[in-house]
Chains A and B, each alone.
Chain A
Amino acid sequence: MMQAFEYIRPGDMASAVALVSGDPTAQYLAGGTTQIDLMLKDGVLEPERLVDITRLPLRGITRDGDVLRVGALATMEELAADATVAERLPFVREALLAGASPQLRNMATIGGNILQRTRCRYFRDPAVASCNKRVPGSGCAAVGGAARMHAILGASEHCIALHASDLCVPLVALDAVAHIQGPRARRSVPLTEFYLPPGDRPDVENVLEHGELVTGIEIPLLPAGTRSGYLKVRDRASYEFALTSAAVALAIGGGVITHARVALGGVGTIPWRAPQAEAVLRGVPVDAQTFRAAADAAIHDPFTVAGTAFKVELAKRTLVRILQTVAGGGSS
């Protein structure tokens, strides 16, 4: 539970950015599915000032040539229902609909999805003293604890917190770009550079300065004829984060892979693009051994603890399966 806070709903972006940039105790509020959760349910965030950006003109999904421009306030359901996404980026739609629940998808924004915080129950329980993400230098209780929904790539004894977004997996595969508005300037950062692996600073998750606002993302469309698919593996049939997942896009000509995009979910401290897997796949004929080799390359040098060791093999098989599905012409 949180302390009393001030709630402000500015009508324009400049005011919003100024309010948060100028106040280290201020935070943005959009859909609220991460923010309110961490404030009210978990007691991890205690902003003194909450700046509601939901009335800012950051909605809308528009096709601009070979790029899809998505406003940061577009919701998961809106993006999943978009005609261009359905036609040219099916694995984005699959990833969106595999995530959360319909109610959450109506609330959750694309900007918020990209910025979601980890679900790690050591991070989310303030009674746990050792969490380098919450309290830098205090250690990582998850490593010696009951870890399972945790990362094996980009992980270390400092932090194994998973980035749990489904949407971000195809987005990094697509080299989507985040547009950012700061107090004085704008910039654009590809998602593959946006996230920072925890390293020895798990409290720093991305390149944003305090107060910088993600205003939208730009998604390059896959070339026409590229097949794509997203496979999410989890314990129960729905309404659960991934144990492992994979997003792949393949262009195949004459039985040979001419173009490959691969990214993994459920395993990375950040959304995990797998260029090593793409390198294995590019220019070779479609076959099971190639897929397995790509998977072996993708899950390279994992950091596992007892509870996450099973993910190594499962993640490889997940990738192999979705490659088979997509290459075979079906969807997952």
Chain B
Amino acid sequence: MRVLSCLTLTAQCDGREVTTIEGLSREGGLHPVQEAFIRHDGFQCGYCTPGQIMSAVALLAEGRAGSDEEIREFMSGNICRCGAYPNIVAAIREAAGQ
């Protein structure tokens, strides 16, 4: 379940399982979403990227990557000032197709 860390006190996570970007890839490999982001250049400065990727992974689990329109709407909670949105959508579209 995707949430915003900036509005969550650490104490509130007591007893819960938290995954951050560092926990996404396994044994040095990359998660398919991470690979897709690289391939489609879904980032520029990279500052929003961990959030975009965690959000995208959750989006896929939520089953909300059925169309570009759906991806755009349900990824709109992640702002990218560099404007990489079309590439983010392309990366998610590819990851959804796998």
Q: Mark A11-45, 1 if CB is under 8 A from B, else 0.
A: 00000000000000000010011001100100000
Shortest distance from the beta carbon of A331 to any chain B beta carbon, whole Å: 15
Given contacts A102-B77, A238-B76, contact A52 B3 (CB under 8 A): no
Contact of A102 among B6, B9, B55 (CB under 8 A): B55
Q: With A and B bound together, what is the CA distance between A33 and B73 in angstroms? A: 20
User: Which residues does chain A contribute within 8 Å of B11, judged by CB atoms?
Assistant: 7, 9, 52
B9 touches A104 (CB 8 A): no
Interface residues of A in 234-276 (CB under 8 A from B): 237-239
Interface size class of B (residues with CB under 8 A): 20 to 34
Interface size class of A (residues with CB under 8 A): 20 to 34
Shortest distance from the beta carbon of A45 to any chain B beta carbon, whole Å: 13
User: Which residues does chain A contribute within 8 Å of B18, judged by CB atoms?
Assistant: none
Q: With A and B bound together, what is the CA distance between A173 and B2 in angstroms? A: 31
A3 at the A/B interface (Cβ < 8 Å)? no
B45 at the A/B interface (Cβ < 8 Å)? no
User: Which residues does chain A contribute within 8 Å of B9, judged by CB atoms?
Assistant: 7, 29, 32, 36, 50
Given contacts A7-B9, A36-B9, contact A103 B73 (CB under 8 A): no
Residue picked from B8, B12, B77, most chain A C-beta under 10 Å: B12
Residue of A nearest to B59 (CB): A102
The count of A-to-B residue pairs whose CB atoms sit within 8 angstroms is 57
A304 at the A/B interface (Cβ < 8 Å)? no
Contact of B77 among A36, A54, A239 (CB under 8 A): A239
Given contacts A32-B12, A52-B12, A54-B12, contact A100 B77 (CB under 8 A): yes
Q: Which 10 A-B pairs have the closest CB atoms?
A: A101-B77, A238-B76, A239-B76, A36-B7, A103-B2, A106-B1, A103-B4, A32-B7, A107-B3, A7-B11
Interface residues of B (CB under 8 A from A): 1-4, 6-9, 11-12, 14, 55, 58-59, 62, 64, 72-74, 76-79
Interface residues of A (CB under 8 A from B): 7, 9, 29, 32-33, 36-37, 40, 50, 52, 54, 100-104, 106-107, 237-239
Additional A-B contact list (14), CB under 8 Å, known A102-B62, A102-B77: A9-B14, A29-B12, A32-B9, A36-B8, A102-B58, A102-B74, A103-B55, A103-B77, A106-B1, A237-B73, A238-B73, A239-B76, A239-B77, A239-B79
